[in-house]
Amino acid sequence: MRILIAAILSFQLCVVLGIVICPDRTGYCPDGSTCCMGVKAFECCHHIDAVCCSDKKHCCPANTTCIVEIGMCRDNDDAVVPFAFRRKTQSFQLKTQ
């Protein structure tokens, strides 16, 4: 029961603060971002529901596929999206007491 209450309070706090808590629960990204695993830690991709690329350095918008070899994103219609995939930025650390 305590875990459920903690999860609900954590979700409500995220909504109020406008942040996305990363899966490791030690970092967060701004609202409208996605946490993607980097080489050593989670990083922020500034797309909602982003696709995290296998190189752990870049990401693509939702409903696209990373084409790491050419540094681009491909949409579901198999067309190359006209912008390069984005480099991720460092996540922010959650303060714990």
* Per-residue confidence (pLDDT) for residue 82, from 0 to 100: 54
Number of other residues whose CB lies within 10 A of the CB of residue 10: 12
pTM to 2 decimal places: 0.70
Number of C-beta neighbours around residue 78 at 10 A = 7
Read off the pLDDT of residues 75-89 as tens digits, 9 standing for 90 and up. Answer: 878 777 655 556 777
Q: Where are the beta strands (DSSP E) in 1-97?
A: 19-21, 27-30, 34-37, 42-45, 51-52, 58-60, 64-67, 72-75, 80-84, 86-87, 89-90, 92-93
Name the residue with higher pLDDT: 33 or 17: 33
Q: Please, which pLDDT band fits residue 15 given cuts at 50, 70 and 90?
A: very low
Q: pLDDT (tens digit, 9 = 90+) per residue, 46-78?
A: 999 999 999 998 899 999 999 888 888 888 787
Higher confidence at residue 25 or residue 12? 25
